[in-house]
């Protein structure tokens, strides 16, 4: 892979031997969905698939950006002095946004870069290709410009850029999971305080399998921001009586006792998901600590049901994949992961059943939806690195 990337870089930018190769992972969230902007807990892990970058500094202030995934767009050029969101600049708005955000936060980036990207995360799949390229860009800038910034602040700067440069009101989970990933560990993160612990994922005899609907979705134009504002309004109404700052502070009992304050059926369902999902995530981590895979799997299934019924972020493609997966022998859990409205589901499958489950689910999906789903058997990997 490294040789292929360096070869392409040389073809585009003429190698001088100063360029370096970098990597940042994608992520999958095992449980704790749509809780990160509601002050709740999440439980993601970094994957061994992700985004590669080859980069070097320039002597002028030009940014020369190229992606092997969007070959037809060629090299897109701009200046580090005038970084503005432009729809026609397509995918480059993500790395541009991070450089803009670093400068906004007072870091010095006074000359440009030649930079080539290649990602093996499917775009729009819900495995965080956008957060992956953001964290990678922050990590490259830290290295090439000698910035005094740690990985948590790279994650926060990446989130800031997505919120303020790209206009997607995302929470911190994706960037944090990617920046702080550890092999064979998931991150139990309290999104309200950024307190986190690593929990070992001991899945001896099981595999994590990602099921991709191949239905593309874009966060900015999905109903993601709508869900977020529904939760914010529900919280505002609950705060008329309760001294809370986020839905994540409530127990199930407190919510049930006070849900009448919301006074809107749809908003109640959204808030219910946020509260119950947060509690499920806390219980799931406990179950894993006790090596209780059965309870862990049940909670993941409950999470999926709530995302379908209360949060309504699935759709026919995800519902079909999850439903078909749960019918298979050896599949102990399956649910959508990520923002929803397309993208991926995550499942845990007994190792010996992986092949037949993939075959059966793929066949049923094609019959019902009309096109193929893709499947990835994944491992849990580390955060960003120089290769």
Here the tokens at position 17 are 């031997």
Can you tell me which residue has the tokens 């070959």? 71
**How would you list the strands of the sheet with 374-378, edge to edge?**
331-337, 344-350, 206-212, 374-378
Whether 210 and 345 have beta carbons less than 8 Å apart is answered as yes
Instruction: Report the chain's C-alpha Rg in angstroms.
Output: 21
Q: Mark residue 24 as left, alpha or beta (left: phi above 0; alpha: psi -120 to 50; beta: remaining).
A: beta
Q: Which residues contact 77 (CB under 8 A, 6 or more apart)?
A: 62, 63, 64, 65
Whether 174 is a known active-site residue: answer: yes
The single residue of 36, 114, 174, 310 carrying the catalytic annotation is 174
Contact 41, 192 (CB under 8 A): no
- β-strands 185-190, 76-79 pairing: unpaired
Our CA angle for 369, 371, 375, nearest 5°, is 100
Which residue bears the tokens 């944090």? 176
Cα–Cα dist 362/356, whole Å: 10
Query: Could you tell me which residues are beta bridge partners of residue 336?
Result: 345
Dist CA 127 CA 62 (whole Å): 30
| SS3 of residue 61 by DSSP | coil
Q: Which residues are annotated as catalytic?
A: 174
């Amino acid at each position: 892979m490294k040789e292929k990337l360096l070869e392409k870089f040389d073809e585009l930018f003429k190698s001088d031997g100063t360029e370096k190769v970098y990597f940042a992972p994608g992520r999958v969230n095992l449980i704790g969905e749509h809780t990160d902007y509601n002050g709740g807990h999440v439980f993601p892990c970094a994957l061994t698939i992700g985004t590669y970058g080859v980069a070097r500094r320039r002597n002028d202030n030009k940014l020369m950006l190229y992606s092997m995934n969007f070959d037809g767009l060629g090299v897109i050029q701009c200046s580090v002095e005038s970084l503005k969101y432009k729809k026609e600049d397509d995918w480059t708005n993500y790395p541009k946004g991070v450089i803009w955000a670093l400068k906004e936060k007072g870091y010095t980036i006074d000359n440009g870069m030649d930079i080539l990207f290649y990602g093996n995360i499917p775009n729009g799949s819900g495995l965080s290709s956008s957060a992956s390229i953001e964290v990678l860009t922050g990590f490259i800038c830290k290295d090439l410009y000698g910035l005094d910034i740690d990985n948590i602040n790279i994650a926060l700067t990446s989130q800031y850029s997505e919120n303020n440069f790209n206009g997607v009101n995302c929470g911190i989970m994706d960037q944090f999971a990617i920046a702080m990933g550890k092999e064979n560990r998931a991150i139990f993160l309290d999104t309200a305080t950024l307190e986190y612990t690593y929990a070992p994922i001991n899945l001896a005899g099981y595999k994590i399998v990602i099921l991709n609907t191949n239905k593309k979705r874009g966060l900015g134009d999905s109903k993601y921001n709508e869900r977020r504002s529904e939760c914010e309004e529900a919280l505002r109404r609950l705060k008329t009586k309760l001294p809370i700052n986020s839905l994540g502070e409530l127990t199930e009992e407190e919510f049930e006792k006070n849900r009448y304050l919301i006074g809107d059926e749809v908003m109640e369902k959204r808030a219910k998901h946020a509260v119950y999902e947060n509690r499920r995530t806390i219980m799931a981590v406990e179950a894993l600590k006790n090596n209780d895979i059965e309870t862990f799997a049940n909670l993941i299934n409950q999470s999926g049901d709530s995302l379908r019924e209360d949060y309504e972020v699935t759709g026919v493609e995800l519902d079909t994949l999850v439903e078909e997966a749960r019918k298979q022998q050896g599949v102990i859990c399956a649910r959508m992961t990520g923002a929803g409205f397309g993208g991926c589901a995550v499942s845990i499958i007994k190792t010996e059943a992986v092949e037949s489950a993939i075959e059966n689910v793929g066949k049923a999906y094609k019959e019902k939806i009309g096109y193929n789903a893709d499947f990835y058997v994944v491992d849990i990997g580390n955060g960003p690195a120089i290769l």
